[in-house]
Structure 1
Amino acid sequence: MSELQVVATIPAKPEAADQVRQALQTLVEATRGEEGCLAYDLFESTSAPGTFVTVERWTDAEALDAHMGMPHVADAFAAADGALSGEVAIHPLQPVG
């Protein structure tokens, strides 16, 4: 069983960046306590303010799938409803080479 690394980008509307930031900070705290979560960090792009990025490590794909079904994930999406400037892009990664 190998670890799964994931990067997600969340683009907020400029006027809603604070709302999205707060929702994501709440999500981070809850997610870090999940079984299977090895790391879950939140960043904001300095070249595109209001674009948030999560860098995640999970024990496996099943842990990520379980995360996506958690109530705090649904709460974060609900809190960001109408506040995003585009789609949330979730990128599970695999090593190259």
Structure 2
Amino acid sequence: MSDLQVVATIPASPEAADQVRAALQTLAEATRAEEGCLAYDLFESGSTPGTFVTVERWTDSAALDAHMATPHVAAAFAAAAGALTGEVAVHPLQPVT
């Protein structure tokens, strides 16, 4: 079985971008220490500042599910409450053959 690759987008309002960036940096650091996390990279869009993107690799969907239930994910969502301009979109990726 191959790893699970995931992309997530987090759209912050311009005035709250610093707040969301800080919360996501804390989240990324904690996430990288999780069992089942193979890679977790955080980016900000160069064309749409305040839009954050995570590029993730997990051992499997169970590891991703466990990640979503961690206290540091809950803390990041709490820190971003009211600061987002849309929904957080999590995209588990399927290879195109």
Alignment of 1:12-91 (within 5 A): 12-91=12-91
- In structure 2, runs of 5+ residues without a counterpart are none
- In structure 1, runs of 5+ residues without a counterpart are none
Q: TM-score scaled to structure 2, two decimals?
A: 0.99
Give the number of aligned pairs: 97
Q: TM-score scaled to structure 1, two decimals?
A: 0.99
Question: Deviations 1:3-61 (Å, cap 9, x if unpaired)?
Answer: 00000000000000000000000000000000000000000000000000000000000
1:41 and 1:80 map into 2 onto residues whose CA distance is 18
Q: Which aligned runs of 4 or more in structure 1 are off by greater than 6 angstroms? A: none
